Amino acid sequence: MSRKPIVLHTAPHVKRPQEVPVIMRNVVFALLPILAFAIYQFGISVLALTLVVTLTCLATERFFNWMSNRTSSLGDWSAVITGILMALTLPPGFPLWMGVVAGFVGMAMGKMVFGGIGFNVFNPALVGRAFVQAAFPVAITTWTPAFFDGRFTQFIPTTLTMPFMMPPDISAWASSVAVDGFTGATPLGLQKFQDTQTAAMELLTGMTAGSAGETSALLIFVCGLYLAFRNMMNWRIPVWIFIGVTVTSGALYLVDADKYPDPLFMLLSGGLMLGAMFMASDMVGSPVTARGVMIYGLLIGFLTVVIRVFGSLSEGIMYAILLGNAATPLIDAMTQPRVFGARRKEQSP
């Protein structure tokens, strides 16, 4: 009597009759409204940056496929997701050549050296973002005013900066395009370094400066709900992250309301919504057990607030997710359910 062989696969695991490329395409569809709003808000520079970073990710994956004599894996759409997500985490006027560096490092060091999709430990988009954060600290913290005049007909001056050349002064350019009251800082930067808190409505609707795809918390949340309702994202992960952020920031706010921002500001500002909905929920780098998901989400939420409040950087979601990815194997090992009927391992004398 012949028996059917058992085939073991790495994550992502698909329980329904749904292929991984179908899920990945839907993630791309969910990201398109966020990208469209970023282009509307900051102009053609965001479009150019997204195209450059995404094409770099695709070319890098194809190169590694060729070097390892493997069939091209571009059809799974994961490289496209990495490119779009990475571009959305970068400043709108980020130089294009630096975007090439971010795309290559993110795909090469964050994904392909581990063996491709399903084997990577860290989120590739955040690996690339973390690298350029360290390599180009000035460019990564140079922000652009939203809805500036001529954004659909001219590039942000820093976009076309040549490699290793000094970028132009954004503040002088902002004045020339008639942007009034531009401070050159994100809401998190204003709160941390100038003790100025941005209104919740501005954070919801995206009327602020920041990375290309992090400004409108409401739009990002709605796009994430699309994936959750289609059961293509574990909605428990962002929920536990929001709980972790709310509890941690709420405790600090109760201690000193004049010094620490309120939980609502923490939830709506920065890249928290984008990170929680589209990066921390990556099925490869997140735990698979119910208790593990809870611990993972709470850890990311806690670390985000701690880095934002006590660290030298105004934002903390990127490093919090990467640390959460690193802890995922340990979390999974610690939260595995006990096999029914099995005995506990007896300690040796």
**Residue 7 lies inside a defined structural domain of this protein:** no
Say what the pLDDT of residue 216 is: 92
Mean pLDDT of the chain: 87
My answer on whether 251 and 104 are in the same domain is no
Which residue stretches of the chain have pLDDT < 70?
1-18, 175-176, 178-184, 339-349
**Residue 191 lies inside a defined structural domain of this protein:** yes
My answer on whether 74 and 40 are in the same domain is yes
DSSP letter string over 181-220?
Answer: T--S--HHHHHHHH--PPPHHHHHHT-S-SSTTSS-HHHH
**Residue 276 lies inside a defined structural domain of this protein:** yes
My answer on whether 95 and 154 are in the same domain is yes
My answer on whether 92 and 178 are in the same domain is yes
Distance CA 318, CA 97 (A): 22
**Residue 12 lies inside a defined structural domain of this protein:** no
Give the residue numbers spanning the domain of 100: 17-142+144-184
Q: Burial, 347: exposed, middle or buried (Cβ in 10 Å; 0-12, 13-18, 19+)?
A: exposed
My answer on whether 46 and 193 are in the same domain is no
Tokens of 320: 């919090």
For the whole model, what pTM was predicted?
0.88
Q: Which of 74, 100, 97, 72 is nearest to 86 (CA)?
A: 100
Tokens of 246: 């709310």
My answer on whether 85 and 222 are in the same domain is no
**Residue 349 lies inside a defined structural domain of this protein:** no
3-state DSSP percent of the chain in helix, strand and coil, to 5: 60, 0, 40
My answer on whether 226 and 316 are in the same domain is yes
**Residue 8 lies inside a defined structural domain of this protein:** no
Among 184, 213, 235, identify where a domain stops. 184
Say what the pLDDT of residue 182 is: 58
My answer on whether 230 and 175 are in the same domain is no
Tokens of 47: 């479009």
Domain count, the chain: 2
My answer on whether 72 and 110 are in the same domain is yes
My answer on whether 257 and 151 are in the same domain is no
**Residue 246 lies inside a defined structural domain of this protein:** yes
Among 184, 212, 241, identify where a domain stops. 184
My answer on whether 164 and 48 are in the same domain is yes
My answer on whether 174 and 230 are in the same domain is no
**Residue 248 lies inside a defined structural domain of this protein:** yes
Say what the pLDDT of residue 98 is: 96
Distance CA 306, CA 327 (A): 17
CB 139 within 8 A of CB 167: yes
